[in-house]
Structure formats: structure tokens, C-alpha cells
Amino acid sequence: MKVAESHNHLYRHCSVSTDLWSMFITLFELNWVMPQSIKDGFESWCCWKVDSTIKKIWKMIPVAIFWRI
């Protein structure tokens, strides 16, 4: 019997999500540790201070990753 994957696994730990997160973290040259939960991830992502020219894009990155998965 297969066990259902949790949201945390799907959006943080599976190979597709890990690759997508890594791509964005590398693209923006970040030093970031993956938080324990999706909620913590959103909260920490929103707290980053980014340049106003990319602020809208920055806020959409987690949404884009979740949509892709």
C-alpha cells in the first residue's frame, strides 16, 4: 500500500521541487536553508529585502514553483 505524499514532501522535498527551488536560489545567489514547513517557507520568503525592481517577480516565485509542481 502506498502512503500519500504530504504537502511538505511534494512542495519541498521531492526531486522536482528541490530542483526548482535550487534553480531560483542559485539564480538570485541566495544562502537559504529550506524551512520546516510550507507556511514557514512563505513567511521567510516574504521577509527577504529585495530591490523594488524585482519585488513583484520575487513574490511570484513560490507561486510559480507550486504551480509547476
Q: Do the domain assignments include residue 1?
A: no
Q: Do the domain assignments include residue 30?
A: yes
Q: Do the domain assignments include residue 54?
A: yes
Find all residues with CB under 8 Å of 10, minimum gap 6, and list them. Answer: 17, 69
pLDDT tens per residue, range 14-55: 888 888 888 888 988 888 777 788 888 888 887 888 888 888
Closest CA to 66 of 47, 46, 42: 42
Give the count of domains, the chain. 1
d(CA 52, CA 56): 8
Q: Do the domain assignments include residue 22?
A: yes
Q: Do the domain assignments include residue 28?
A: yes
For residue 25, what are the domain limits?
A: 7-68
Torsion region of 29: left, alpha or beta (phi above 0 gives left; psi -120 to 50 gives alpha): left
Average pLDDT, stretch 53-61?
85
User: Looking at residue 19, what is its pLDDT?
Assistant: 87
Residue ranges of alpha helices (H) inside the chain are 7-8, 15-27, 38-47, 55-68
Q: Do the domain assignments include residue 57?
A: yes
Q: Do the domain assignments include residue 26?
A: yes
